[in-house]
């Protein structure tokens, strides 16, 4: 797997991810799990999905965080421990690969696994897992990768924050369509998961692939929303919004440049205008995502 994500970007986007995820769909997953569920978190990064789901579950649980990056998994342990201690929970480390968060409803046991997911499900400890979960992963993978995973699973699969391609920046700009077309083309390049990335086709592909295996698939919108000024749904989002929007603009421009074969001057004009709008606190963005939950036969 070759697609890497910077620690700073993952930290910056975490509150926007948390505000976007469908609480109802997450609660539907958690309601289907046993007393002490075991989660397998694919492409876990710094553990933001654990920090979203674990408090919602509110009881003893076990997590295996899977990622190809040792740096990200080490950051995950540090961040989970720091956030837990900040709210008064005790944290202990039985060994170098395990931490325990002693929460009021029961301990959270967290382990890490460094693994390149390109050949998944090969190498994954699927036996014993009660749910396989992911966040911002499935738009990076190929359809054959998804088919292999679906064929191997007999437990719920939860995929949060899959891009849909329905993005809107305001105020509008004449080059928005050009940038969007090039950006979507870039989303479809091979991201290191054995084939062309699904990109905005991921939600439909998950529904089709898991449906073919007999799973019942539900989905809900989970759009990112960011504005340069005004109230925000979660603490820290208002202060982080200008930087978040800046990174969104830079990321879209970089992706568009990779796909631009004509050195179109409209791209640079778009970038300059959008960065000026961030600085002037006039830019807002809605970036389309969907959360999906696939329940195996017999799980309702």
H or E stretch covering 12? helix 7-20
DSSP reduced 3-state for 51: helix
Angstrom CA distances, 20 to 42, 207, 221, 232, 237, stand at: 19, 20, 8, 12, 12
Q: Residue 166 and residue 139: Cα distance in Å, rounded? A: 14
Residues 6+ apart with CB under 8 A from 263: none
**Angle separating helix axes 237-259 and 176-187, nearest 10 degrees:** 80
Beta bridge partners of 114: 67
Q: Are strands 98-103 and 106-114 parallel, antiparallel or unpaired?
A: antiparallel
The CATH architecture one would assign to domain 7-165+195-225+287-295 is: 3-Layer(aba) Sandwich (3.40)
Convert 231-254 into a string of H (helix), E (strand) and C (coil).
CCCCCCHHHHHHHHHHHHHHHHHH
All residue ranges of the chain with pLDDT < 70 are 1-5, 299-300
pLDDT for 216: 98
Query: pLDDT tens across 65-85, in order?
Result: 999 999 999 999 999 999 999
pLDDT for 300: 45
Residues 6+ apart with CB under 8 A from 38: 61, 62, 63, 64, 128, 129, 130, 131
Q: Residue 153 and residue 168: Cα distance in Å, rounded? A: 35
Q: How many residues does the chain have?
A: 300
CB atoms within 10 A of CB 31: 9
Name the token pair of 253.
């421009």
Fill in the DSSP letter of residue 196: B
The full DSSP string for 261-297 is SS--HHHHHHHHHHHHHHHTT--EEEEEEEEEEEE-T
Helix, strand, coil share (%) of the chain residues, nearest 5: 40, 25, 30
The domains of the chain are located at: 7-165+195-225+287-295
Query: pLDDT tens across 205-243, in order?
Result: 999 999 999 999 999 999 999 998 877 787 778 889 999
Beta bridge partners of 289: 163
- The number of angstroms, rounded, from the C-alpha of 236 to the middle of its chain's C-alpha atoms is 19
pLDDT for 2: 39
């Amino acid at each position: 797997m070759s697609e890497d994500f910077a620690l700073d970007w993952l930290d910056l986007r975490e509150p926007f991810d948390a505000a976007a995820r469908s609480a109802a769909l997450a609660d539907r997953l958690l309601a289907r799990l046993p007393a002490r569920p075991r989660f397998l978190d694919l492409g876990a990064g710094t553990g933001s999905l654990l920090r979203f789901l674990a408090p919602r579950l509110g009881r003893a649980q076990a997590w295996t965080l899977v990622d190809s990056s040792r740096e990200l998994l080490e950051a995950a342990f540090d961040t989970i421990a720091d956030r837990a201690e900040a709210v008064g929970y005790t944290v202990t480390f039985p060994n170098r690969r395990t931490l325990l968060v002693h929460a009021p409803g029961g301990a959270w046991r967290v382990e890490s696994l460094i693994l390149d997911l390109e050949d998944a499900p090969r190498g994954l400890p699927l036996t014993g897992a009660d749910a396989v979960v992911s966040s911002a992963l499935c738009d990076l993978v190929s359809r054959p990768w998804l088919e292999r995973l679906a064929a191997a699973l007999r437990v719920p699969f939860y995929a949060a924050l899959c891009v849909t391609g329905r993005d809107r920046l305001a105020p509008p700009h004449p080059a928005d369509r050009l940038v969007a077309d090039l950006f979507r083309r870039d989303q479809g390049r091979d991201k290191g998961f054995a084939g062309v990335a699904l990109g905005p086709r991921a939600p439909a592909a998950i529904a089709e692939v898991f449906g073919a295996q007999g799973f019942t698939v539900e989905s809900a919108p989970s759009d990112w929303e960011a504005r340069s000024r005004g109230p925000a749904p979660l603490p820290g989002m208002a202060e982080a919004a200008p930087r978040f929007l800046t990174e969104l603009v830079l990321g879209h421009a970089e992706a568009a440049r990779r796909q631009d074969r004509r050195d179109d001057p409209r791209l640079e004009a778009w970038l300059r205008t959008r960065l000026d709008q961030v600085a002037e606190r006039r830019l807002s963005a809605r970036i389309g995502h969907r959360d999906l939950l696939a329940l195996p036969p017999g799980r309702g």
